[in-house]
Amino acid sequence: MRILETRLLQWPDEAATQAFCEQMAGALRRQPALMNASIELHGSLGAGKTSLVRHLLRALGVEGRIKSPSYAVMESYELAAELGCASHFDFYRFNDPREWEDAGFRDVFAAPGLKLSEWPEKAAGMLPTPDLQIWLEVNEDDSRAVRLQAGSELGQALLNALDQTQGVRS
């Protein structure tokens, strides 16, 4: 994947993750075209991928239980009419990337809506090029080192929208 832009962040705690997600949700609301982004989340077990998705979905207005799609592989959420829908994927249990194709996810990724994918490497070669990749690394003090990488013009637009809301800079 080509990398068009990168941002490096430090999140000292869960509250920083939540604040980032609230700012991202604000950016998505201001520019609804960004709601068609495909965002990949990378990191080891316990790095905070699912927590990030939960905070983002809450900030986008999802009420009720937001469950991890570890067993179902995909959970979809209807958002406010102007935002459409968001689909949360967890490919951790995939043993073969072709399972992605067999599950019919090509149609989901081709449709409008936000796509949030955990463990995308388990579906390597099947997923479309991500607009944005978020890499989470746990530091010794339990803070998170975060790398945002735009892989498309849509991803760049999302980074730029975040820059305007929070002053994110590499």
Q: Which domains does the chain have, with CATH numbers?
A: 5-163 (3.40.50.300)
Q: Which tokens go with 143?
A: 């803070």
Phi, psi of 72 (to 5 degrees): -80, -15
Segments of the chain scoring below 70 in pLDDT: 1, 70-72, 97, 166-170
pLDDT in tens, 11-27: 999 999 999 999 999 99
pTM over 0.85: yes
pLDDT in tens, 95-112: 776 777 777 788 888 999
Q: pLDDT at position 148, please?
A: 96
The CA-based diameter of the chain, rounded to the nearest angstrom, is 42
CA distance 41 to 89: 10
